[in-house]
Chains A and B, each alone.
Chain A
């Protein structure tokens, strides 16, 4: 909330992505996992971002300090806010996004996030804290865009087990479970038809097939580990497999 408050005028260029966005769509986890996060991932849309006020100084003035990597901001209580820019719109830098006067370390480039700029909806979000009655209308990435982003994250890290988090596979499953098949399919089609997100969406469909479309897929294996002790891994794996196949089939139609 502090970050959204601070970003003020820039809120129109901000899209909520990551765990909190997934929570907006999937609500409580349906299979026993606790979906609680206070960290926020915010995507910036450089195409509509105003040049002033500079985000770097806005964040610092609101009490955030830069973290170890570009785009990471730490607030009071160590709440982390990640400012992210889709790879395709992030300019020439290696990791940090080029955002003109907003600062070189302000935001980080992320693969697969393009869809969030294309598929999103305005949602009123309020604080998780009882004593905080602020609420903002903010754009929240749609479920297809969120799945595409998660698939890119998993794919990018697929050969680096230490950087893989089982929770990401569980998030994909939660979205597949919660969202109506037709909504997914139409969201995917919209991403595929927009020049900004077409390339990452098409690649993501391939990732979905590889990671979640077969019983031995990496994503299915991670999901099994994520639910072990909370739910029956066989049921979760079979369910996720079925849903991934249904989505792929619906997209092809």
Chain B
């Protein structure tokens, strides 16, 4: 690209072959002007060069000797380019952004390419934070196998690009397996939930507020059974329905809007005693594939496990118990539609 932008009587020679540098730059180019004056370009290829890493990258290149650093990349953000200029480096990216300014021999070339990354999803994912990851983890645990990326994306309600990146991460971590057609045909559900809760937490990912049902948990259950609004019980109460344990002292409920729900359930705010936690969910996926337990709507087992594992007190131990059930749990058949509310 650089060559094509130079006037015809300038020459660019790859000097790396001549000066083999084991830990040097990726390439060394010699630019020769018509009058014979020469300049060396220390060429360094950087994928995803973030602005905050520019200074470090240039320091590294300058260690290799005299010459003008020249960074090549698939895409450089406007801020990265600005910083490269500020620190005296040239650059070129695959979208057509190019700049080279030399004083001896005197040369200035600048062309403009894209300001936005045309391949935003190419970076490998490292975290399962966020709504799309949550929807996908839940779908992978709940839905009937096998399915391809597009089907998974559609059923989880995320973009195919997101699904593809999350699946790549999960495959790297050996949490899922794919067949020859690239369809997911195995999910290690319990391990997948354990991996999810490294990035998801019932207390931190959702917005929760404390309330008091002064008439006690039994009275709350009666109201929930008659409730006409969207809710899903999670935590120890949902677990108690599965394990037939006594109801817990504190109940956690996902709702759309905790003030509205508190009014409808006639809950009070209290600073001294709390027996109901209302949580506005990180994503409506918590309302997907809920189950009716004794007339009370509860989150799906996969969501319950994640919430317990990241909950207070004895919750994580209960979560571990339920993870055993998750691996053998029946998937939601293909015919079932996603819950309303998206």
Contacts and interface: CB of A to CB of B under 8 A. Distances in A.
Interface string B206-225: 00000011111111000000
11 contacts: A30-B215, A30-B219, A231-B249, A235-B249, A235-B274, A238-B274, A239-B212, A239-B213, A239-B215, A239-B216, A239-B275
A239 to B, nearest CB: 4
Contacts of B219: 30, 177
Given A30-B216, A235-B273, A235-B275, 7 more contacts: A178-B215, A232-B249, A235-B249, A238-B273, A239-B215, A241-B272, A246-B214
Chain A, interface residues (CB within 8 Å), range:
10 to 19
Given A231-B249, A232-B249, A242-B268, A237 B273 contact: yes
Given A231-B249, A235-B249, A238-B212, A30 B218 contact: yes
B270 interface: yes
A31 B213 CA distance: 12
Interface in B236-279: 249-250, 268, 270, 272-275
A219 B219 CA distance: 23
Given A239-B212, A242-B212, A242-B268, A234 B273 contact: yes
Contacts of B212: 235, 238-239, 242
Interface in B272-320: 272-275
Interface in B146-171: none
Contacts of A231: 249
A240 B212 CA distance: 11
Contacts of A72: none
A232 B275 CA distance: 9
A62 to B, nearest CB: 39
Nearest 10 CB-CB pairings of A with B: A238-B273, A239-B214, A242-B214, A235-B273, A234-B273, A30-B216, A238-B272, A238-B270, A177-B215, A243-B214
Chain A facing B: main interface SS: helix
A215 B274 CA distance: 15
> Chain A CB within 10 Å — which of B250, B268, B273 has the most?
B273
A212 to B, nearest CB: 12
Q: Which size bracket describes the interface of B in this complex?
A: 10 to 19
Contacts of A240: 214
B218 A239 contact: no
A110 B270 CA distance: 37
A236 interface: yes
Most A-side CB within 10 Å, residue of B216, B219, B268: B216
A242 B270 CA distance: 9
Interface of A: 30-31, 176-178, 215, 231-232, 234-243, 246
B272 A243 contact: no
Contacts of A242: 212, 214, 268, 270
A235 B273 CA distance: 4
A91 B212 CA distance: 46
A234 B249 CA distance: 11
B268 to A, nearest CB: 5
Nearest to B215: A177
A177 B219 CA distance: 9
A231 to B, nearest CB: 7
A232 B272 contact: no
B272 A177 contact: no
A215 B249 contact: no
Contacts of B215: 30, 177-178, 239, 243
A177 B270 CA distance: 16
A239 B211 CA distance: 11
Nearest to B212: A238
Nearest to B272: A238
B273 A236 contact: yes
Nearest to B246: A32
Nearest to A234: B273
A241 B213 CA distance: 12
Interface centre among B214, B219, B268 (most CB of A within 10 A): B214
Contacts of B273: 232, 234-239
Interface string B62-106: 000000000000000000000000000000000000000000000
A207 to B, nearest CB: 20
A176 to B, nearest CB: 8
A242 B250 CA distance: 17
B94 to A, nearest CB: 62
A133 B272 CA distance: 47
A242 B275 CA distance: 13
Contacts of B272: 215, 234, 237-238, 241
B218 A238 contact: no
A240 B275 CA distance: 13
A200 B130 CA distance: 61
A241 B272 CA distance: 10
A241 B218 CA distance: 18
A241 B249 CA distance: 18
Nearest to B249: A232
A242 B215 CA distance: 10
Contacts of A238: 212, 214, 270, 272-274
